[in-house]
Structure 1
Amino acid sequence: MSGKKRKPIRWGMVGGGRGSQIGYIHRSAALRDNTFELVAGAFDIDPERGRAFGAELGLDEGRSYPDYLAMFAAEAKRDDGIEAASIATPNNTHFAICKAALEHDLHVVCEKPLCFTVAEAEELKALSEARGRIVGVTYGYAGHQMIEQARAMVKNGDLGDIRVVNLQFAHGFHTAPVEEQNPSTRWRVDPKFAGPSYVLGDVGTHPLYISEVILPHLKVKRLMCVRQSFVKSRAPLEDNAVTLMEYDNGAIATVWSSAVNAGSMHGQKVRIIGSRASIEWWDERPNQLFYEIQGEPVRILERGMDYLYPQARIDDRIGGGHPEGLFEAWANLYRRFGFAISGDRGFALTDTGDLIFPGIEAGLEGVRWVENCVRSADAGGVWVDYSS
C-alpha cells in the first residue's frame, strides 16, 4: 500500500436500516478497509426508526435524517459533510435518489438496477460526467478474485477464440408465492416498485456483468428473450427467462434467469468456451475456477495461489487455502470504488492494469439489457438489435 495516510471518505446511507440484509453487507464491505467512514444516514421511511437505528450504529443524533433530501441538503452545509452516498432502497427510488445525490456533488454507490430505462441511465451518466462524480453499481459477485483470473486468461489467449458463453443465475427460493407472506419479496414482483422485470433485472444482470468483465472485447449484436410467470400472480413480471445473444465476433451466449429452479441454492454459473479450452466459475464455490483444456485432465485453480495471474492476486486478504466469501467480494468492490473516488489506486494496481469496477457504464448496460430482453419477450420472443 502507498505510504501516504489516506483519510476515509465521509459516507452516508439511504435505506439499509434495521433488518435489511443488503444494508448490513454495504456497511460491512465499505468499512472493512477504512476506505469509508459512516457519518450520516436516512435509513428508514419511518424517521423515528431511522434515528434509533442510527444511534445503534453510533452516529450523532443530528446526522440521522428523516429522508435523503434532508440529508443531502444538511450535509452540503457542513465542512465535514458526506462526500459519497450509498443507495439501498427499492428499485423505483434509485433514479431520483441518485440524481439528487449527483446534483449535490456526491459520489454514489447504487444498488442495481440503476434505474428503469436507458433514457434515465443516460441522464445519470451525463450528470455524473458533468459533475465529475463516480457512480458505482453493486454487482457484488464481481469482486471475487477468480473473476480477475478468468479475465486475464481470456486476455492472454489461454482459451483461444471465444465461441460460446453460458450464463445462469437460477435459484429455487420463489417456486411458490412466498411474497404473500414476505414483504421484502413482495415489492420485487410488483411492477410499481420492481420496474419492467423481476428475474431478468434481479438476478440475470449479475452474471451478465461478470461476463462483461471477463470478455470486455465482445459486444452484444442482437438478442432474443422469452419469459414466463410460472407463479401466475406475478404476471406481467417473469420468474423465469431465457435469453439468447449473438456477439459481434460471431460467438453466442445464453442467459438463464430464474427464481423457480426448484432445489437450487443459487445456481449462478459463468462458463466461457473457447476454441482451445473452457473455464467455469460457480458462485457457491467462488474460490475456485475450473480450467478445462481439450484432451487434458480438468484443472481446478484455487484463489490466492502463486500460479495465478497477478491481477487475480491484487485483492488477496489471506493466503491460499482460506475460503473467502461474499463479504470479501463486496469489500473488494467498495475498496475499488474508494480508489476511484479518491484517485488513489494503491496496492500497485497501476502495475497490473486498469482499476476495474462496476461503474455508470455497467449500470447503463444492465438497464439496456433488461430493456431489450423485455422488448423481445413482449413481442413474442423475436430477435432485436442491441445498440449501445
Structure 2
Amino acid sequence: MSRFADRSGPIRLGMVGGGQGALIGAVHRVAARLDGHYQLVAGALASTPERARASGLDLGLPDDRIYGSYSDMARREARVKDGIEAVAIVTPNHMHLPVAREFLKRGIHVICDKPLTGTLADAKKMQVAAANADALFVLTHNYTGYPLVREAKERVARGDLGDIRLVQVEYAQDWLGEVPDPGNKQADWRTDPARSGVGGATGDIGTHAFNLARFVTGLAPEALAADLQSFVPGRALDDNAHVMLRFVGGARGMLWCSQVASGSENALRLRVYGTRAGLEWRQENPNELRVTPLGGSTTVVTRASGATGSAAGRVSRLPPGHPEGFFEAFANLYAEAAQAIRAHRTGAALPEGVTYPDISDGVEGVAFVEACVRSSKRNAAWVPL
C-alpha cells in the first residue's frame, strides 16, 4: 500500500524541465489536465534558478513550490501531507536518469518523456532504480494512446490478420533538413551527443516507430540490420536510418526514420500484413484505420464507430466524426497512469484494459538505438537485439 493511500482528488503533479520555450513541457501539462486527473503544484522547470523561477511564475505556481534544482524539489516534496505524488520529467535525455532516481527513491511516481535515457548503460541503471522503488514508472510513447492504435492492437491479438508476416513502420520529418538557426533549443540538444545520447533521429523518433510496431503486433524482435546517415554536414548524430528487422517466429519488418525528408511534417505510418488481412494507420490522419482482407476490399474503420471494439472505445472521448488527435492521445497515457497510481495507493488490482509503456519498453527502445548504431558501424551487419 502506498504512503499516499489516504489521498483523494486530483493527483498532485510536479514537473522537471519544460519551462519557457520548451514544446514538450507544454504538451505534458495539457495532457495532464485534460481529464482533471492531475493538478500541477510544483516544478523545477529550467536548468538555472532564474529561468526556473520565471517559468514557475508564468504557470502560476506558488512561490514556495518553485525550485531552482530538481534535487531540492525531490527532497522537499517527499512529504505526505501535500507533497507531489507524481513527477513529469521533460528534460533532455541525459538528465532522465539522475532526475528520476531522486524521485523514485522517495516513492514518487515518475512519468518520463521518451527515450528512456541516452545510453543503454543508463537505461539499465534506471531499470534497477525503478525495480527497487515503491513507485510506478510511465514512459510517454504517446502514439500508443490513439484509439485506433488500440483498435489495431486488439484486431492483431484476436487473430483478424492471421499470422503476421510483415511489419512496415516509418516516421518521416523534415525539420532538421538544414543546419538549424542558432538558439533553436529543440534542435540544439537533439543534435548534441552529450545531451541526446548515442542516437539522433533513431532516438528521437525511431524509438516511437519501434515502440508502435511492438505495441500493435506484440512481436518480439530478435535481430536488426541498420544503415544510418548524417546527411547534414557537420552533424554528429544520425538524421536518417533504414532498418531491417527480424522477429521471433519468422516475421520480417522494415523501419525508416528520418528528420531530413523534405516535405514530410510528422509522417508516422504503420502497416501490418498477415496471412488473412493487412491494416494501415497514419498519425497525420489518426481517426481512420484501413483494414483489407486478402483478396478483398478495404474497409475504413473510423474512431468511435460501431466497427471499433472495447480497447478503442475506452480511450475515446467524443462521438464519431469529431476528430481526436495528438493532445487526446497524450492525455490517454496520463489517464492510464492516473488509474494505475490510484490503484497503487491501496494495493488494488489495475483496472481492466489499462495499459501504458513502462520501464521495460524504455530499455527496449534504447537497446534498439544502440543496436542500430552498432550495426551501421559494421556496414549494416545483422546484430542481435
TM-score by length of 1: 0.93
SS at match of 1:342: helix
Deviation at 1:180, TM superposition (A): 4.2
Matching residue of 2:228? 227
**Alignment counterpart, residue 108 of structure 1, candidates 110, 115, 133:** 110
Deviation at 1:59, TM superposition (A): 1.5
Q: Distance in 2 between matches of 1:188 and 1:338?
A: 29
Matching residue of 1:127? 129
Matching residue of 2:279? 279
Contact 1:240–1:260 under 8 Å retained in 2 = yes
Matching residue of 2:258? 258
Matching residue of 2:289? 289
Q: Distance in 2 between matches of 1:70 and 1:151?
A: 42
State the one-letter code of the partner of 2:250. Answer: G
Deviation at 1:165, TM superposition (A): 0.2
Deviation at 1:49, TM superposition (A): 2.7
Contact 1:134–1:360 under 8 Å retained in 2 = no
Provide, for residues 29-70 of structure 1, a one-character-per-residue CA deviation record: whole Å limited to 9, x for no partner: 011112111110001123223223222322210100001011
Q: Distance in 1 between matches of 2:235 and 2:334?
A: 34
SS at match of 1:234: coil
Provide, for residues 207-262 of structure 1, a one-character-per-residue CA deviation record: whole Å limited to 9, x for no partner: 2111121122x211111111011112113x11101111101110001110101111
Q: Distance in 1 between matches of 2:375 and 2:134?
A: 35
Provide, for residues 178-230 of structure 1, a one-character-per-residue CA deviation record: whole Å limited to 9, x for no partner: 254523202111111111010001011112111121122x2111111110111
Contact 1:179–1:186 under 8 Å retained in 2 = no
| 1:215–1:61 distance in 2 versus 1, CA, 3 Å | same
SS at match of 1:70: helix
Contact 1:224–1:384 under 8 Å retained in 2 = yes
Q: Distance in 2 between matches of 1:165 and 1:364?
A: 21
Q: Distance in 2 between matches of 1:53 and 1:239?
A: 31
Contact 1:147–1:214 under 8 Å retained in 2 = yes
Q: Distance in 2 between matches of 1:30 and 1:149?
A: 23
Provide, for residues 111-154 of structure 1, a one-character-per-residue CA deviation record: whole Å limited to 9, x for no partner: 11111233322222222222221111111121110011001111
Ranges in structure 2 where 5+ consecutive residues have no aligned partner: 1-6
Ranges in structure 1 where 5+ consecutive residues have no aligned partner: none
SS at match of 1:169: strand
Contact 1:224–1:244 under 8 Å retained in 2 = yes
Q: Distance in 2 between matches of 1:228 and 1:58?
A: 44
Q: Distance in 2 between matches of 1:52 and 1:187?
A: 21
Matching residue of 1:332? 332
Give the paired residue count: 377
Matching residue of 1:363? 362
Matching residue of 1:268? 268
Deviation at 1:77, TM superposition (A): 4.2
Matching residue of 1:382? 381
State the one-letter code of the partner of 1:305. Answer: S
Q: Distance in 2 between matches of 1:73 and 1:49?
A: 20
Deviation at 1:357, TM superposition (A): 0.4
**Alignment counterpart, residue 101 of structure 2, candidates 99, 102, 105:** 99
Q: Distance in 2 between matches of 1:44 and 1:194?
A: 17
Q: Percent identity?
A: 38
RMSD: 1.9
Matching residue of 1:189? 191
Does residue 136 in structure 1 map to residue 138 in structure 2? yes
Contact 1:15–1:42 under 8 Å retained in 2 = yes
Deviation at 1:78, TM superposition (A): 6.0
Matching residue of 1:67? 69
| 1:175–1:383 distance in 2 versus 1, CA, 3 Å | same
Q: Distance in 2 between matches of 1:132 and 1:253?
A: 37
Q: Distance in 1 between matches of 2:41 and 2:325?
A: 27
State the one-letter code of the partner of 1:95. Answer: L
Deviation at 1:281, TM superposition (A): 0.6
Q: Distance in 2 between matches of 1:52 and 1:171?
A: 32
Q: Distance in 2 between matches of 1:179 and 1:259?
A: 16
Matching residue of 1:305? 305
Provide, for residues 321-350 of structure 1, a one-character-per-residue CA deviation record: whole Å limited to 9, x for no partner: 1000100001100001111122189xxx97
**Alignment counterpart, residue 120 of structure 2, candidates 118, 121, 144:** 118
Q: Which stretch shifts more, 57-66 or 110-119?
A: 110-119
